[in-house]
């Protein structure tokens, strides 16, 4: 799923399956075969189930580094806290995969975020894959199955929401994770700061989105969602530099000069 490009991004290792594999291994050292038996309820004749578990183990072991092999057994390579909840697991994964810029997952994510409203005209996963492959030579091998695998992780990591054959770009969850985990290292919750300072801070932590000029639809929608939930406040002060959001008719914030992030974002 997070291999160097080109990568088929298979559908079997979903976030839920990879997390289950990690939690099973966290109970104590366990062989690959025993782990497979436990998660397939001993149905060794079912090749499909075995494949799901094996590929999920490979993602946890080889691509995310949460598991390690020692003396022929699988065990946790990271503190148990990273799999204590889905949120902790999501933040651990995000901190790794969005900085690996040579993976198919990252490259396709970056392409998709840049499409903005055009994404709504790419009405199914096959069209999305073919369009990206035709426009990006590095992803020329991308196919529908790869995008089908990508969608589960993209949704889980907070790039947007799934709606049948559509992907709705809204990075509320991705932004909230960053604000909860890292914002207080630089700023104070409840203190109003300049939008330009916030943009500079965010730019190095959101490599999958280009926020050097007008912010993409996915990022803008995520910021507006956080605003609507009362987790942040956006303001536009006169004679101040403004950050341009992706324009939405009737929305009170198509730009902002100052932002306040509240501590409730951590909950």
- Tokens standing for residue 153: 């992780």
Single pTM value for the model: 0.94
Q: Give CA angle at 150 (226, 125), nearest 5°.
A: 95
- Tokens standing for residue 224: 């507006």
The chain-wide mean pLDDT, for the chain, equals 95
Q: How far apart are CA 87 and CA 256, in angstroms?
A: 29
What was the pLDDT predicted at 122?
93
Q: Which residues pair with 40 in a beta bridge?
A: none
Length of the chain: 267
Asked if pLDDT for residue 221 goes beyond 90, the answer is yes
- Which of 110-119, 160-169, 192-201 is the least confident region? 160-169
Long-range contacts (CB closer than 8 Å, 24 or more residues apart) made by 134-138 = 135/111, 136/107, 136/111, 138/5, 138/107
Residue 244 contacts residue 254 (beta carbons within 8 Å): yes
Q: Give CA angle at 117 (10, 259), nearest 5°.
A: 100
What was the pLDDT predicted at 252?
85
Asked if pLDDT for residue 48 goes beyond 80, the answer is no
Residue spans of beta strands (DSSP E) within the chain: 67-70, 73-76, 160-163, 166-169, 192-194, 232-235, 243-244, 255-256, 258-261
What was the pLDDT predicted at 117?
95
Sign of CA dihedral 60, 61, 67, 71: positive
pLDDT in tens, 24-45: 999 988 999 999 888 887 766 6
Residue 104 contacts residue 6 (beta carbons within 8 Å): yes
Asked if pLDDT for residue 3 goes beyond 90, the answer is yes
Q: How far apart are CA 81 and CA 212, in angstroms?
A: 35
* Pairing between β-strand 243-244 and β-strand 232-235 as defined by DSSP bridges: unpaired
User: To the nearest whole percent, how much of the chain has pLDDT over 90?
Assistant: 89
The residue-averaged pLDDT of 181-201 equals 98
Is the peptide bond between 266 and the residue preceding it cis, with omega within 30 degrees of 0? Answer: no
Asked if pLDDT for residue 46 goes beyond 70, the answer is no
pLDDT confidence tier of residue 202, bands split at 50, 70 and 90:
very high
pLDDT confidence tier of residue 214, bands split at 50, 70 and 90:
very high
pLDDT confidence tier of residue 167, bands split at 50, 70 and 90:
very high
Instruction: Name the phi and psi angles at 168, rounded to 5.
Output: -95, 110
pLDDT in tens, 222-255: 999 999 999 999 999 999 999 999 998 889 889 9
- Tokens standing for residue 226: 């956080």
Asked if pLDDT for residue 49 goes beyond 90, the answer is no
Instruction: Name the phi and psi angles at 222, rounded to 5.
Output: -65, -40
What was the pLDDT predicted at 44?
66
Instruction: Name the phi and psi angles at 59, rounded to 5.
Output: -65, -45
What was the pLDDT predicted at 266?
96
- Which of 5-19, 37-51, 83-97 is the least confident region? 37-51
């Amino acid at each position: 799923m997070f291999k160097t490009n080109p990568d088929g991004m298979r559908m079997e290792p979903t976030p839920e399956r990879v997390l289950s594999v990690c939690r099973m291994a966290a109970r104590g050292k366990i062989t690959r075969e025993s782990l497979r038996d436990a998660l397939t309820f001993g149905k060794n004749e079912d090749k499909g189930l075995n494949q799901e578990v094996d590929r999920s183990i490979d993602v946890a072991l080889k691509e995310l580094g949460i598991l390690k092999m020692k003396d022929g057994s699988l065990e946790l390579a990271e503190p148990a806290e990273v799999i204590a909840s889905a949120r902790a697991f999501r933040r651990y994964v995000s901190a790794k995969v969005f900085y690996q810029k040579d993976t198919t997952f990252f490259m396709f994510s970056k392409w998709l975020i840049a499409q903005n409203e055009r994404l709504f005209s790419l009405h199914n996963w096959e069209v999305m894959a073919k369009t990206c492959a035709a426009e990006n030579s590095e992803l020329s091998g991308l196919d529908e199955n790869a995008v089908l695998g990508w969608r589960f992780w993209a949704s889980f990591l907070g790039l947007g929401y799934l709606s049948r054959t559509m992907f709705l770009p809204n990075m509320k969850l991705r932004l909230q994770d960053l604000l909860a985990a890292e914002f207080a290292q630089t700023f104070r919750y409840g203190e109003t700061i300049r939008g330009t300072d916030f943009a500079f801070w965010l730019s190095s932590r959101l490599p999958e989105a280009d926020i050097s000029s007008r912010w993409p639809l996915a990022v803008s929608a995520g910021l507006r969602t956080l605003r609507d939930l009362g987790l942040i406040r956006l303001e536009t002060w006169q004679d101040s530099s403004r950050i341009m959001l992706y324009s939405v008719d009737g929305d009170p914030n198509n730009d902002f000069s100052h932002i306040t992030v509240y501590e409730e974002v951590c909950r």
